[in-house]
Structure 1
Amino acid sequence: GRLAHAVPGRIAALAPAPDGTVLLLDDRGRLHTVRGTAPRPPYLERLTEAVSATLARHPGTALAAIAGSVVVGDRLGSVHAFGLTGLHQAASHSGRVTAVAAVESATPFV
């Protein structure tokens, strides 16, 4: 498929949000959003703002999302899980994170 809006740079990863918004990670590690047609919940706006602020300091290399959570990997081997209960981070290894997944869980884990 095609996105309805142009995004600067090449897209490295994408993840759908529950309201139909598509979260995009460009090849420079920055987050972009293409809004869906449904009204956007306030928590999702705050969540994407937090992710964008972090990626300004630590460019992302991998992206995943589920209801209430966004997970991003970076070039130094860290994984950042943003959720309604806060930010959880772990340095998984040294080197670029190439893929992440987000799953529903009673307790946050990274």
Structure 2
Amino acid sequence: MDVLNYLLGYLGSVIYIISNSCLQSYLTDILIKKINIMSVLKVIEILGNSTESFEDAIQNVINEASKTVNHIKSVYVKDMQVTVVNNKISQYRVATKVTFDIKND
């Protein structure tokens, strides 16, 4: 009877350790997935212009932003304007919001 109790106690401990390890592994996986989903982003507003096109004005915004920030994720164009001289477009202007990742390892 003592041997049976010993074996049952031992078996119970093994099952407990295995179940805790599985639970710990499961929780760790969830935590890692949660951490990978999280990002710290910042948004700045930049005005850009070009004598060529709106696309060139937006590219100028990206070029200027990339001089001081890294990991640019997107550029949202809030507003587009042109200046006209003698009935011709002389300048393309864009107001943008540039989003970038500030915590990218």
TM-score normalized by structure 1? 0.26
TM-score normalized by structure 2? 0.27
> Which protein is richer in helix relative to its size?
2
Higher relative contact order (CA 8 A, sep 6+): 2
